[in-house]
C-alpha cells in the first residue's frame, strides 16, 4: 500500500493587489508517495484566482489544509497519486530482460 504526503514548499505572493496585501497568487506543491521501500515524488505549481475580499485569508493565517483545498480544485490530486502508485509498483518489480537461450 502506498501512502502520500502533500507539502507546499513555497507560495508565490503579490505584495499588494486590489487593496489587499500579501495575496497568494500561486502555490508550489509536492506529492511524495512511498510503499515503505520505494519512494517517488511529483511536483507542480497551481495559479490561484484573485480572492474575493470578503473571503480573503491573511497570509499569516493560511493553513496546510487551506492550501490543500485551494489546489484540489485545480489539479487531479487522485490522478497524481495514481501516477505515483504506478511508478512505485514499477520500481518494486524486477526488470524483465530478454536473454539468449543457454544452448
DSSP helix/strand/coil, 53: helix
Note whether 89 and 56 are within 8 A (CB): no
Per residue in 5-24, pLDDT tens?
999 999 999 998 888 999 99
Side by side, the strands of the sheet bearing 20-34 are 3-17, 20-34, 39-47
pLDDT in tens, 33-80: 999 999 999 999 999 998 888 989 999 999 999 999 999 989 999 999
User: Which candidate, 69, 62, 85, places its Cα nearest to that of 10?
Assistant: 62
Q: Which pTM value belongs to this model?
A: 0.84
**Helices and strands of the chain, counted as H and E runs:** 2, 3
Amino acid at each position: 500500500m502506498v501512502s502520500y504526503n502533500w507539502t507546499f514548499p513555497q507560495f508565490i505572493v503579490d505584495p499588494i493587489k486590489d487593496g489587499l496585501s500579501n495575496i497568494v497568487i500561486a502555490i508550489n506543491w509536492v506529492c511524495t508517495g512511498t510503499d515503505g521501500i520505494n519512494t517517488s515524488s511529483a511536483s507542480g505549481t497551481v495559479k490561484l484566482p484573485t480572492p474575493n475580499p470578503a473571503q480573503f485569508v491573511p497570509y499569516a493565517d493560511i493553513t496546510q489544509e487551506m492550501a490543500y483545498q485551494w489546489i484540489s480544485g485545480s489539479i487531479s490530486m487522485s490522478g497524481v497519486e495514481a501516477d505515483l502508485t504506478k511508478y512505485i509498483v514499477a520500481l518494486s518489480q524486477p526488470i524483465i530482460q530478454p536473454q539468449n537461450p543457454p544452448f
